Structure 1
Amino acid sequence: MSHVTARPRSRAWPPQGLVYGVDPSRFQDSDDDGIGDLPGITGRLDHIAALGADWLWLLPIYPSLRRDNGYDVDDHEGIDARFGTLEDFAKLVEGCHARGIRVMLDLVLHHTSERHPWFQAARRDRHSRTGAYYIWADEPLDAPGDGPVFPGEEDSVWAFDDEAGAWYHHQFYGFQPDLNRANDDVFDELVRVATVWLRRGVDGFRLDAAMPAMRSKPTEGTGADPARFYDRLRERLSEVRSDVALVAEADVGADELAVLADHRRVDAVLDFSLNNAMFLALAREQAAPLHGALDELDRAVAASARLNFVRNVDELDLDQLTDSERQEVFAVFGGGPDAFLYGRGLRRGWAPMMGDERRFRMTLSLLFALPGAPLLMYGQELGIGDDLSVDGRDACRPVMQWSAARTGGFTRAPDAPLILPAQHSGPYDFRRVNARAQAADPGSPLALTRSLAQLRRRIGLATLPMKRHPLPNSPSVLALSADGYLTVHNLGSTPAEVFEAYGAEPVLAERWNGHRLGPYGFAWLRRS
C-alpha cells in the first residue's frame, strides 16, 4: 500500500473548526451487512467537511469482538474485517486530506484483549519477555482505591488464567488485561504501533485513559511517571512526524492535566472537569460552576490545549462532582432510575437530556464559544436521541440518521443489529431527525452547527486570548470575549438582562433583543 503524502496545510493544533468523532460501526454501512464501515465513512466525508471539521477522530477500528466497543483490541496493527481493508483505510485518509481534514486514531495504552498475540504469548510463559508486558500475581492483591472502572459489571480487578496458572490485573473488564506501562518493552511496542499508523497517513492519536494507564497497580514496578512517559512518547513519535498531534483523555483534576500539557507533552487534553461543571451550572441555572472550573483550567492548561465536549458516547461521567452536586444534576437531568449508571453518571443522550430544544441549541452554541476546541460526536449535530431500553452505555450510541428511510439511510440490510428500537419511533426517530431533512432547513440544529463552526473559524477563536466577564446582576449568564467579539449564553429558564452588551451588533443570536436574553437565549456579538 502506498504511503499517503498529501496532507492538510493548516496548522495541526489547535483546530480552527471542530473535532468530529465517529464510531465506524454506527456511521454508514456501504456493503449491506448491517454494520458501518470505512468506505461508508469515506462516502460521507462531504457531510463532515461541511460541518467545519478539521479533525476526524475514528473510534477503534482494530480487530476486536467489540465487547467494549472496540477498546478490547485484538491486534493494534490491523483493521476489523467488518470495517474494511487497509486499502479502504488509505482511501479514507486520502479523502480526508483532500478536504483539509486530519485523521486521529485511538491509541489504547492501558490494556489489550485477552485474544491479543501479546497476551497469548504471555499466558504461555508469564516469566518471559512478553509475559512481563502484563501484571501477574499468584493470588489477588488488594490495594486502596484499586477497584473496577465499571462498578457492578466487574466484582474484582483480578482474573485467573488457567494456562498461566496465575492471576492477571484488569482495571476495566476481565477480558482486558492491563499492560505494564513501566515496562520499556511495552513502551517500545506502543511506539512501534503508532509508527505503523503514522506511516499509513494518520495525523494524530487520542491517548485512551491517559492517566489511569500510568498509575501503579498492587505489584511492584508497575507505575510509570506520566511526565517521563509522555515526554518520551512525544520525542519518539516526532521523529516520525514532526507535527503529530497527541490528545490525552484525562478525567482528572487540574494539577494532573498540567502535567500532561506542560512542555507540550500532549497537544490537548480531552478534559472532563469543564464538562462536569457545565452540567452542574445547567442544573443550577447559574454560571458560577463554569467560572470556577475555568479558573482552575486557566491556571493549569492553555485554552488552545483543551478539547471540550458536552456528551461523549459513554455514560455522562460526573465523577469530579461531589455526591451532593451529582444529586443536583441527577434531579434535573436523570429522568428516572433506568438512566443512572455506575452510581456516578447518566446514560442519556445530549438532546433528550436537555428536555427543551432551546436549551439544546444554547448548549450547542456554548460548546463552540468556550475556550478550547469543540468536539462533536457523530449525530450530535442533528440532536439524535437515546434508548434506555438498551443495557449499559450503548443507550446513547444510536446509529447515524441520514434520512427518513426505514433504517435511516444507515444501511440497506433488512436487519441491522446496532439500530436501537427508539430510532424507529418516538420524538427522535429517523422520520423526525435526520441529516437530509435538516440540510434543507435553515432553522435546524445541523444548520446551527454549520453556522457556529463557520463563525468560530472566521473570528479565529482557536488562537485568541479570551476573557470572562462575571455578571453579578445576571448570574445565569456566561459572558466571554475575544478580540472585539462577545458571546453571552443564558443557562437559565427565565430572561436575563445583559446591559453590558448594549449596542453590540448581533452576528448570530437566538432570543436576544439587544439587552435581554430570553430563556436559554444566546448571542454572538461584535462590539464597536
Structure 2
Amino acid sequence: MRTPSSRRLTPEGFRAPNIPPDACVEQGERAVLFTLPGTPVLFYGEELGMGENLAAEGRQAVRTPMQWTPEKGAGFSTASPDTLPNPLVDGAFGPRKINVYEQSRDPDSLLSRMRSFIERYRGSPELAWGGYRLVETGEQAVLAHVCRAGDGTVLAVHNFADRPLTVRLEIHEAGAGEQLTDLLDEKHTALKASEDDLFRVDLPAYGYRWLRVGTPADDPERVACG
C-alpha cells in the first residue's frame, strides 16, 4: 500500500526513480549509508541504481527482474519478456542503461563504488562499531563525523551540495604528527594539518572522503580495532 506520509515511499513509488539517474548523487547517498551508526541495508538492485516499475501496484513496484545484462530479458530469463511474472523496467532505469555486466567493467560505476564501500567498511571496524562524534564544518551542506573504536579513528566527510566545497576541520583525535589518509583513494592520498592544526578537505559536488587518522608510517588499510 502506498502512503504519502511514508519516509521511504511517495504516491508515485520509491524515491530513486522519481529523479534522473545521477552517478554522483547515487554514490554520495550510499557513501553516507555506510558511515552512519547502524547496519547498512540494501534492497537488491540498489547497488546498481535500479529503478522500480511505478505502474505496478503496491510492493509489486520493486519486484522487477534483476538486470544482469543489457540483452533481451536482461539476463534474468531467456523467456519472452512478455511472459515474465513481472515486467522489466524500461527507459532510463531499464537494463539497457543499468545492468551488472557493464557496471562490473566500469571502475567509476555505482556497482564498482559499492564494492569499494563494502570492502572498506569491512576493513574499518570504526565505521561498524565505533563511537560517533559530529565535527563542525562551517558549511550547512557538509556532514563530517568521527568514528572511533579501539585505537582506530576514521573521519567521514560528505558534501550534499551540487557544487564543490572546501572545509577546514579541527580533529581532536589527530595527535601531533598524525595525518588523514584517504581510504577510498587507491593512492591513499594523505592530508596534513596546517599551522593552525586544521585539516583542509576539498570535496567535489556530492563528493565524500573517508579518512583514517594515523602517522605516515601506519598502514591505512590496517584493521585498527582491538
Number of aligned residue pairs: 188
1:399 CA drift (Å) = 1.8
- The match for 2:201 is 515
Instruction: Pick the aligned partner of 1:431 from 69, 88, 96.
Output: 96
CA distance in 2, matches of 1:371, 1:464: 8
After superposition, what is the alpha-carbon deviation per residue over 1:361-381, rounded to whole angstroms, capped at 9, x for unaligned?
Answer: 100111111111100010110
After superposition, what is the alpha-carbon deviation per residue over 1:75-127, rounded to whole angstroms, capped at 9, x for unaligned?
Answer: xxxxxxxxxxxxxxxxxxxxxxxxxxxxxxxxxxxxxxxxxxxxxxxxxxxxx
In the alignment, does 2:69 pair up with 1:400? no
1:416 CA drift (Å) = 0.4
- The match for 2:181 is 505
- The match for 1:470 is 136
AA at the equivalent of 1:407: G
- Contact 1:466–1:480 (8 Å) recurs in 2: yes
1:430 CA drift (Å) = 1.1
- Contact 2:2–2:58 (8 Å) recurs in 1: no
1:349 CA drift (Å) = 4.6
CA distance in 2, matches of 1:481, 1:431: 40
CA distance in 2, matches of 1:435, 1:385: 14
**Change in CA separation of 1:150 and 1:316 when aligned onto 2, cut-off 3 Å:** closer
- Contact 1:468–1:480 (8 Å) recurs in 2: yes
AA at the equivalent of 2:87: I
- The match for 2:6 is 317
1:150 CA drift (Å) = 6.2
CA distance in 1, matches of 2:17, 2:166: 26
In the alignment, does 2:105 pair up with 1:419? no
CA distance in 1, matches of 2:170, 2:48: 30
AA at the equivalent of 1:377: F
The unaligned stretches of length 5 or more in structure 2 are 172-178, 192-199, 215-226
Q: TM-score, normalised by structure 1?
A: 0.33
1:352 CA drift (Å) = 5.0
AA at the equivalent of 1:365: A
CA distance in 2, matches of 1:484, 1:347: 39
AA at the equivalent of 1:413: A
CA distance in 2, matches of 1:354, 1:436: 21
Q: Secondary structure at the match of 2:70?
A: coil
Larger radius of gyration: 1
The unaligned stretches of length 5 or more in structure 1 are 1-148, 152-314, 320-338
- Contact 2:136–2:169 (8 Å) recurs in 1: no
**Change in CA separation of 1:442 and 1:501 when aligned onto 2, cut-off 3 Å:** farther
- Contact 2:153–2:212 (8 Å) recurs in 1: yes
- Higher normalized helix content (fraction of residues): 1
In the alignment, does 2:43 pair up with 1:377? yes
**Change in CA separation of 1:349 and 1:406 when aligned onto 2, cut-off 3 Å:** farther
Task: Give the superposed CA RMSD.
Answer: 2.9
After superposition, what is the alpha-carbon deviation per residue over 1:474-517, rounded to whole angstroms, capped at 9, x for unaligned?
Answer: 111111212321110111222222211795222216xx996221
- The match for 2:175 is none
* % identity of equivalent residues: 30
Q: Secondary structure at the match of 2:207?
A: strand
1:407 CA drift (Å) = 0.8
AA at the equivalent of 1:493: D
